[in-house]
Amino acid sequence: MSLAGKTILMSGGSRGIGLAIALRAAADGANIAMLAKTDTPHPKLEGTIHTAADQIRAAGGHALPIVGDVRDDDDITEAVLKTQGEFGGIDIVINNASVIDLSRSLELGAKKYDLMQDVNVRGTFMLSRAAVPILKDAENPHILSLSPPLNPTPKWLGAHTGYTLAKFGMTMATLGLAAEFARDGIAANTLWPRTTIATAAVQNLLGGDKVMAASRTPDIYADAAYAVLCKPAREYTGQTLIVEDVLEAEGVTDFSGYAAIPGTPDSALFPDIFLD
């Protein structure tokens, strides 16, 4: 299967994993609409929604940058309607936008807790829900959320409770949608990596250059997402998927080409959180 002619509505996507997924789909000639806030350059982060759109077009896709906030219901409605109006429908929703703060419970600010809940959990639910009536008319509709399997062990529940709640909330919302709309043929799955991915979040929040060097590139996430989105929606839903497992099922056995630093052995890579 191919994503040629398919229309993707993504939250975020100005950089990092979201952009990598968009570029992988663009190589097939997909249409990608992005609902994101980064309208002007950020002092510490590369890329805006407009530079991302330029890269998507250069890769062979069609881009629709929509400046807005996934926390705002009017912005969500506008994004859904603009995407449908521009491309004639919506085939895929990717819940990529996410806020991370690994502070312990006593140090986590109330506003940051609310922000993580609003973007990660509420944003995932509201954007997906708004697109469902249009997804029902798609040939092979998918919802994909970039969130981890539910792993309620003390290790992860106690590590950073606020962030854990927000990421598990994304997953629970997605699994709920999978069950609720299975009869309509809408797939809803989550996807998460075994190792850290070399993104700005890892650079700035998880360990700087040391962890970046022991990470894989966003391309591994993009290739796994592509494989998921090409699956028959009625047969491939309600799963909490792992990036490497998806690729292994596709016949990929050598992940060395995804190392952020070429030549880094798999054994030296930094494991991502939430997985035992």
- Active-site residue list: 163
Q: Which amino acid does the sequence have at 257? A: G
CA distances for 262 relative to 52, 132, 172, 215, 259, angstroms: 25, 41, 36, 11, 5
Closest CA to 272 of 20, 118, 100, 112: 100
Residue 240 is classified by DSSP as E
- CB count within 10 Å of CB 275 equals 14
Angle (CA) 167 168 170, round 5°: 65
Query: Would you say the C-alpha torsion 155, 156, 162, 168 has a positive or negative sign?
Result: negative
Both tokens assigned to 44: 């510490």
Both tokens assigned to 4: 């040629």
